[in-house]
A and B are shown apart, each in its own frame.
Chain A
Amino acid sequence: MNTKDIRNALKSRLVSANIGPNRAHPNVEPTGGRPFFEMSFTGIDREGGTLKGNEILSETGQFTAVVVVDQGGGEDDALDYADAVAALFPEGQRITITDGEIVIRRPAEIRGGYPTDADYRVPVAVFYRAKAD
């Protein structure tokens, strides 16, 4: 179980669902313009516990997809996309990865939207726990 597998599994669940907007992967410029999802990972807490000391037994973290739409057009579109993202990660959802499994710990949170220069953004926080087999 490694970081790349965990993150790619969560990202690809969002990408393969094909629910509309373009995607902006971490460290990649968004292509195709708004609307798009901006994906990031944060709040990582890992547990080891093996005598070797270099194995990850579990990782608890947060996958955030920020829905980015045009500013000034209301928030309905952004909230529809946010609900669609949340529906992809229901509580208890299991995603198999190499040498482990990801479990969604609780329902996704759709946070308050906010305007920036030309965008309106609605963050969706997905809480997961990855466990090694």
Chain B
Amino acid sequence: MTKYSFADLDKWARKMERRQDAILRQSTNDLLKGIDIRAGLTRGGTFKRGVIPRHLGALAGSLQSTLMGSTAISGTGENSYVMVIGELKGGDRVRFVWGGANAPYAPAIHYGFDSYPGTFWRDDAAAKWQGYVRAATARAKVQIP
């Protein structure tokens, strides 16, 4: 382990910032990547909580990723989160939204309607956030010693 003295406090602070950024990027990437997209009921799939069901792909493709902070970026598409995470730094705010004009039925698929109980992919992913942060922190400590 590297030992720091008061004289190189700046060096220590820079390392902590690098770790913070790495943890934030890794956790956010794991969160979005961890949301499974699988064939919906109309495509012969089975119902499963925590996933985005795919029929023609409009719902998964409606993901709008926005970075508000050190850099302003916004994009739409199934993998649009990748470019946002690439520029993400500690202190930034990000927003990931499904639905909009391309898939206005997103809330109904998420929370349910009539006899369809909803897959709750957003809430399910959010509940795993602490776990993703714990794993990313352990990894950052090894990668940025």
Instruction: For the complex, give the distance between the alpha carbons of A38 and B108 in Å.
Output: 13
Query: Would you give 15 A-B contacts (Cβ < 8 Å), ordered by A?
Result: A26-B117, A42-B120, A43-B124, A43-B126, A45-B127, A60-B127, A62-B123, A64-B111, A64-B123, A66-B111, A111-B107, A111-B111, A116-B113, A121-B108, A121-B113
Chain A contact residues, CB within 8 Å of chain B: 26, 38, 40, 42-45, 60-62, 64, 66, 111-112, 114, 116-117, 119, 121, 123, 125
Q: Is there an interface contact between B49 and A117, defined as CB atoms closer than 8 Å? A: no
Does B114 interact with chain A (Cβ within 8 Å)? yes
Q: How many inter-chain contacts with C-beta < 8 Å in the A-B complex?
A: 53
Q: Is there an interface contact between A40 and B112, defined as CB atoms closer than 8 Å? A: yes
Chain B contact residues, CB within 8 Å of chain A: 49-50, 107-108, 111-114, 117-118, 120, 123-124, 126-128, 130-131
> Closest approach, in angstroms, between the C-beta of B109 and any C-beta of chain A?
10
Apart from A43-B128, A123-B111, list 19 A-B contacts with CB within 8 A. A26-B117, A42-B49, A43-B120, A43-B123, A43-B126, A44-B127, A45-B128, A64-B111, A64-B120, A111-B111, A112-B107, A114-B108, A114-B111, A116-B114, A117-B114, A119-B113, A121-B111, A121-B113, A123-B107
Residues on B with beta carbons closer than 8 Å to the beta carbon of A38: 112
Q: Is there an interface contact between A40 and B118, defined as CB atoms closer than 8 Å? A: yes
Selected from A62, A111, A123, the residue in CB contact (under 8 A) with B127 is: A62
Q: Is the interface of A mostly helix, strand, loop or mixed?
A: strand
Residue among A44, A111, A114 facing the most chain B CB atoms (10 A cut-off): A114
> Closest approach, in angstroms, between the C-beta of A60 and any C-beta of chain B?
7
Instruction: For the complex, give the distance between the alpha carbons of A62 and B127 in Å.
Output: 8
Residues on B with beta carbons closer than 8 Å to the beta carbon of A119: 113-114
Q: Is there an interface contact between B113 and A40, defined as CB atoms closer than 8 Å? A: no
Residues on A with beta carbons closer than 8 Å to the beta carbon of B107: 111-112, 114, 121, 123
Instruction: For the complex, give the distance between the alpha carbons of A112 and B111 in Å.
Output: 11
